[in-house]
Amino acid sequence: MVRLVMILLGVDYLRTRWRSVLALGLFSIALGAVIFTDALDGSLYFPIIPFVLVMLLEGLATLAVAWTGMGGQRKLRYVKGTTFCLSALLVLFGGEQGNFAFALIFGTLFLVDGALQIVSARVVRFRRWRLATAGGVLEIAIAIFFYQPYPDHYAGTVAYCVAFGLFFGGWNMILLAARVRRMAANPAVEGAPDENVEEEKEPTASPFAGAVWDGPPGPDEAALTVHVWTPVGTAKSQPRRQLIVDRYIAAVDRNGTISTGHAALETPEGVYISLYPAVEIDRSRNEFSRTLRATRDNDVPGLYQPDYATESRAWCPSTQQVRIRNYDPERLAHFWQEYRRDTTYNLTYRNCSSSVARALEAAIEGASARAWGKGGGWKPLVRILTTPELWVAAQVRKRAATMAWTPGLTLDYARALSMLADPRRSGWVKMARLALATMYRSRQRWRAEEEAAAQTRDASALTAKQ
C-alpha cells in the first residue's frame, strides 16, 4: 500500500508532509504496543468496543456501496464488508464463543494468505521470492498465535487484531515518510531518476483540479485506455469453465490448449504498449508449468505491437476496456521511451500485463494530488485512504507481485486505479441521488395517475348527466 500511496499522491505532495506522516506512524505503533501488552493477561483496560463499532460501521458502509463497484472490485467489497460485519457481531454478541470464532477466522485468513504467498513465490521464483517467502512465514506465525489459546484463552483476540492493524499501518507510514523525505522522483515508478534534491518543486496547476465525475469518460473524451483480452474471450474453442482460474490465470479449451489472454495500453498521444513474444510460446499443459518460473532461462525475444487497430485486426477486438482521464502524458512518454529499449518477454515477470501495470502507474503518478488542486492540504491523503478502491488495488497488486501479473488482475487493478485517479462521487452520494430520482419518478407517476383518475371521474359524471 505504501507504493500505491506514493504513486497516487506523488513525491512533491508527500515530501512536504513527511514529518507529520512519520509522527502518525510512530504514534500508531506505540498505541498498538500498548493495546497488545494490555491484552496479554486477558484483562482488558483499553476500550475495545469503539474499535469494534467502527469496524461494524465500516463493514456496513462497504456493503451499502459495494454494488457501485465493477467486476472483481464488487466481489472484494462484498468480501471485506461481510468479514468486517461478521467479526464485529461475533465480538459484540458472541461472548467467549465469539472470541474463539473470531480467532479462527483471522487465523485462517493469515494462514491461507501466507501459505499461498509461500507456494506462489517458490513456484514463480521472481527476484524477491525469498523475501516474499519470509513474509509468508511471518503470516503463518501470526495465524498460529491466533489459533493457540496461550496466554489469554482467546479473550484478547480483538485487541490483538487492533494491535496488529496499528502495527502494520504505522510501519507503512514510517516507510512512506522515510522514502519520500528527500526524493526527487518517485522510485515506485520505473524509469524515474532516484536522486536527492535541496529544493522543493512548486506543483503546477492541473486542468483536473477539483473535478468530480459521475462515471467513466465518454467516447468523445480524451482518455488513456487499458485494453484487456480475457482468457475466456480469446480461447480458440469452447473453454472449460473453471471458477477463478479462467478469470485470473488461464482458460483451457476442450482441446487442452491454454489461453492466458492479453493486455495493452493506448493513449490519444499515440503511445501504444503491447508486449508479445516474437515467437509463440508452447502453452501445452506439459510446458506451461516450466515457463511459469520467472528465471532468465525462460526469457524470450519480445515484440511490441504498433497500434490497437493493427493488433485487433490481426487477432480480435479487446473484450474489456478501462478509460482514465487524469493521467500525465509526459511521465508516460518518459516511461515508454526507457521501457521500450528492452524487448525481453517473460511469461511471468515481464509480460504484457506487467508492462501495462507499470505504464499505468507511471501515467497516474500524482493523480490524486493533481485532482484536488494546488494547496489541497491533507484532503488528497484522507480521500484516498478512505476510498475502498485503495484496499482493492493494494490486494490486487500484492497478489500480482507474489505471483504474476495476468490480464484478469490487470483489469481489476486498472478499474480500481481509475476510481482513485478520476475522483467520483462516493457510493453514498450515488445512492442518495438514485433514491431522490426514484422518489421524483414515483411522485410524477402518482400525479399522472391522479390526473387520469380525475379525468375518468369527470368523463363518467358528464356521461351520467347526458
371 pLDDT band (50/70/90 cuts)?
confident
Q: Tens digits of per-residue pLDDT, 445-464?
A: 888 888 888 888 777 777 77
The highest-confidence range among 110-119, 273-282, 435-444, by mean pLDDT, is 110-119
277 pLDDT band (50/70/90 cuts)?
confident
Look at residue 191 and tell me whether its pLDDT is greater than 70. no
The highest-confidence range among 210-224, 275-289, 304-318, by mean pLDDT, is 304-318
Q: Mutual orientation of helices 49-65 and 72-93 as an angle, nearest 10°?
A: 150
290 pLDDT band (50/70/90 cuts)?
low
Look at residue 148 and tell me whether its pLDDT is greater than 60. yes
What pLDDT sits at residue 135? 87
Look at residue 212 and tell me whether its pLDDT is greater than 90. no
Of the two residues 259 and 311, the one the predictor is more confident about is 311
Of the two residues 238 and 323, the one the predictor is more confident about is 323
The mean pLDDT value for 323-335 works out to: 92
For all residues of the chain together, what is the average pLDDT? 79
What pLDDT sits at residue 203? 45
The mean pLDDT value for 385-396 works out to: 81
What pLDDT sits at residue 200? 42
CA 268, 270, 275, 280 torsion-angle sign: positive
Q: Is 180 in contact with 19 (CB distance < 8 Å)?
A: no
The mean pLDDT value for 276-294 works out to: 64
Look at residue 9 and tell me whether its pLDDT is greater than 50. yes
> How far apart, in Å, are the Cα atoms of 415 and each of 73, 259, 422?
8, 22, 11
Of the two residues 13 and 174, the one the predictor is more confident about is 174
413 pLDDT band (50/70/90 cuts)?
very high
Structural domain boundaries of the chain?
Answer: 224-373
What pLDDT sits at residue 265? 96
What pLDDT sits at residue 436? 66
Look at residue 196 and tell me whether its pLDDT is greater than 50. no
CB neighbours of 177 closer than 8 A, spacing ≥ 6? 18, 19, 21, 22, 25
What pLDDT sits at residue 195? 43
Q: Which of 32-41, 166-175, 281-290, 378-387 has the lowest mean pLDDT?
A: 281-290
